[in-house]
Structure 1
């Protein structure tokens, strides 16, 4: 498939996704139902590590879990609605509340034991260091 065809297909996929958003409300790639959502991610790579940034606005650090299982990075937790709004009627609710989870497969060269995490201003920043290639030259006899 050509690059042009890939771009055209992506455009139509995004267009259809945007139509679905208009029908049900919310953000196309972040809401899955009324009580769950999927955090939006950016993943960057340089020669030494991968950087994963997850958008978690309104979530406290103690509401977030980060795990690595079976070579998969799993970000999960729960965002709770402020109790002061339990009485009365909510007229507009665009923020997400409920459980969330996001999983991404890790490449084999990630040092899972050395992953670090920092959470500030609604942004979870993970650094995933790369391991040095352990290949070896094979001598032909």
Structure 2
């Protein structure tokens, strides 16, 4: 199985991504009549058929993969000027992951299942908070 990795530009925390996602789709008129999160991008992933309903987007926030969102499907969108876009329709659920450092890149990258950071079992689970885990990951200690 493969996943997508995408930078969450201009977002500094998982909490900010949660609040931001509610506003963004309304700006574009991307209302699919259901409780989903939509991310609009110019290009459709070549491997969209492998991703839809099976994979997640792993969000890079502040240089660290911190959470993922299950991908439900992909929809094509054409604006009033005739430009084509791809709407990535995702579950609204953000699943926190063990923080994993990731350098900046453009677009998205594919991520093999074996390379994906595992989910955190719960808020503040284990030896500390997600913030502490992110700092340890940045220092190369996790």
TM class by shorter chain equals under 0.3
TM-score when normalising by structure 1: 0.24
- Relative contact order, CA 8 A, sep 6+: which one is greater? 2
Alignment TM-score, normalising by the size of structure 2: 0.24
